[in-house]
Amino acid sequence: MVSLELARHLASVSADLGRQVGVLLTRDGAVRNVVVGDAHKIEIPDVGRLRGGVGRFRGLRLVHTHLRGEPLTHDDLTDLALLRLDMVAKIDVEAGDAGGIEVAWLAPSPDGGSGEGAATYEDNFQRTSAPEVHRLDVDFEATMSALEEEMARIAGTAGEGTAGETGRERVLVVGITPDDEHFAETLELVRSAGVEVAGTVRQKRYKVHPKTVVGRGKLQEIVLEGMRRRAEVAIFDIDLKPAQARAFEDATGMKAIDRTQLILDIFAQRARSRDGKVQVELAQLKYSLPRLTEKDAGLSRLTGGIGGRGPGETVMEVGRRRIRDRIRALEKEVEKLSRQRDVRRRRRRDADLPILSIIGYTNAGKSTLLNALTESEVEAADKLFQTLDPTSRRLRFPREGEVIVTDTVGFLSDLPDDLVTAFRATLEELADADLLLHVVDASDPRFDDKLAAVEELVAQLDLGEIDRLVVLNKADRVPDAELAARERRHDAVAVSALHRQGLGRLIEAAETRLGRKAELAGAPR
């Protein structure tokens, strides 16, 4: 850990100065830094961000003096954790010479591997001490290699495997809001983004630290969890200010991804049409621009991995100015595409076919319903935001004749404004609908919330005037009595899109609504 000679030297200098004195030693025992504190504490200089080495130790240990024989402090242990130091040791200064020694290092699995985290703060660490430096019974090298092996083993058994095995990024999901449902949905989003949840950290109270998102204690917990579970990325269930994300990254060495970035990442993976790709890339660039630091030359932060995946063939390895140019070019393209879309919309209106637009919360079964109604094969999956691009299909109604049915991007509670703006163009088409089929997953425990969230967005998008028919989907999973009650309450039709049940009744109800609309307009179709 430390030679007796060095320990005695530190103690004597420390006694002369009346201050704590410390050294940062590399693995091979070389002095990397010398630090002088005051009588009670020592502040470690900026030892640089640990990039790409997350889950590993820094390869530096701190050996410093304590003037009053006090044990390792909370601050000492926090430094150990946040800076990922190999170990931290204090040497007592007794009559100008080295006295007792105490050493602490990280406990590989404070909970005995149950994955529940440390029961108490102290459980995160192992400590040992000796009345004299040369009597300390710690084999530094052996302890470190055992520790590193144990950490790798835990990381290997946590989740579905290591990144090396699955090739997927491992992330820590950080819940800032105490809302369980919100957190569960965040986990669903993370799953839909195709990354692996290596662990989770939650706060009990909703409190956002103005500077680093979470306070120092939580920061430490996140770093420890990240190390144990080999996660290099923290995904938050809220949006972060650019400066907060940066401060968090500087303090932890982990990459911070917020809720909007997470959703954009999913969108980037799903976009198929030119329209969708352009809108997503534009939103991503606009969102990341204020989040880039001067240090991010080459934009390493933007390239690769979650939050850094673009929808198109675009090169993200470009400078800030190039990003601005790219934003302008994309904005022009959005305009051009929107004109083309207008032409298409006009043509569709001229064809004078009634338009039924399927809307609803993400994963409600909108695409499955479109497929069931029109015998098509739009991709449907148990993932959030599977569909991004609107798709239209024709369908023959018994009385009304041909109608157009369109499927759209799903809605989400608290959809960030930036995303609503990004998709305003696509969603504008909804204004042409003669009837909105609002699909709700009837088996969802959050049924009422989701119904309300969609209604709220409908109002926000100025679609409130359009007639809506609520479709209670996934009826196969709900008891009949409950369905009947809900059908009455919401003037709705229950169906099972997957099992193609209730579709006749749905078509009938939709036709009636359309007929009513035509009557009101005074012109029978």
Ligand X SMILES: Nc1nc2c(ncn2[C@@H]2O[C@H](COP(=O)(O)OP(=O)(O)OP(=O)(O)O)[C@@H](O)[C@H]2O)c(=O)[nH]1
Q: Which is nearer to ligand X, 172 or 442 (CB)?
A: 442
Q: Kindly tell me which residue out of 289, 381, 459, 521 binds ligand X, with binding defined by CB under 6 A.
A: 381
SS3 60: strand
Residue in the block written with tokens 């934009």: 299
Q: Which does 474 bind (CB under 5 to 8 A by kind): ligand X, Mg ion, none?
A: ligand X
Exactly one of 124, 162, 374, 387 binds Mg ion (CB under 5 A); that residue is 387
Q: Which is nearer to Mg ion, 83 or 358 (CB)?
A: 358
384 touches ligand X by CB under 6 A: yes
Min. distance of Cβ 361 from Mg ion in angstroms? 11
Separation CA 436–CA 406 (nearest Å): 10
Task: For the beta carbon of residue 146, count every other beta carbon within 10 angstroms.
Answer: 12
Query: Across the strands, what pairs with 407?
Result: 358, 391
Judged by CB under 6 A, the residue of 332, 346, 477, 505 near ligand X is 477
Q: Which of 200, 362, 374, 426 binds ligand X (CB under 6 A)?
A: 362
The verdict on 386 binding Mg ion (CB under 5 A) reads yes
Please give the C-alpha separations between residue 184 and each of 177, 237, 248, 269, 343, in angstroms, as whole numbers. Answer: 11, 10, 23, 21, 42
83 or 355: CB nearest Mg ion: 355
Query: In this chain, which stretch among 169-177, 280-288, 421-429, 493-501 interacts with ligand X, using CB under 6 A?
Result: 493-501
Is 244 a binding residue for ligand X by CB under 6 A? The answer is no
CA 191 – CA 510 distance, rounded (Å): 35
The answer to whether the CB of 354 falls within 8 A of the CB of 438 is no
Q: Which one, 400 or 444, has the nearer CB to ligand X?
A: 444
420 is in the binding site of which of ligand X, Mg ion, none (Cβ under 5 to 8 A by kind)? none
DSSP type of residue 501? B
- E-strand ranges in 58-179 read 60-66, 88-94, 97-106, 125-130, 170-175
CB nearer to ligand X: give 65 or 496. 496
The Cα 369–Cα 383 span in angstroms is: 16
The stretch near Mg ion (CB under 5 A) out of 21-29, 329-337, 364-372, 496-504 is 364-372
CA 213, 215, 219, 222 torsion-angle sign? negative
| Alpha carbon 483 to chain centroid, angstroms | 35
- Verify binding: residue 380, ligand X, rule CB under 6 A: yes
Question: Binding to ligand X by residue 410, rule CB under 6 A?
Answer: yes
User: Cβ of residue 239: shortest distance to ligand X, in angstroms?
Assistant: 21
Chain residue at closest Cβ approach to ligand X: 410
Alpha-carbon distance 194 to 387, whole Å? 15
Q: Are 136 and 1 within 8 A, CB to CB? A: yes
Q: Which is nearer to ligand X, 260 or 387 (CB)?
A: 387
Q: Is 432 exposed, middle or buried (0-12, 13-18, 19+ CB in 10 A)?
A: middle
The rounded radius of gyration (Å) of the Cα atoms in the chain is 30
Looking at the Cβ atoms of 356 and 514, the one nearer to Mg ion is 356
Number of chain positions touching ligand X (CB under 6 A): 24
- Among 387, 391, 406, 426, the residue binding ligand X under the rule CB under 6 A is 387
Residue 368 binds: one of Mg ion, ligand X, none (C-beta under 5 to 8 A by kind) = ligand X
Q: Is 362 in the site for Mg ion (CB under 5 A)?
A: no
Q: Write phi, then psi, for 188 (nearest 5 degrees).
A: -65, -40
Residues near Mg ion (CB under 5 A) are 366-367, 386-387
Residues near ligand X (CB under 6 A) are 360, 362-368, 380-387, 410, 473-474, 476-477, 496-498
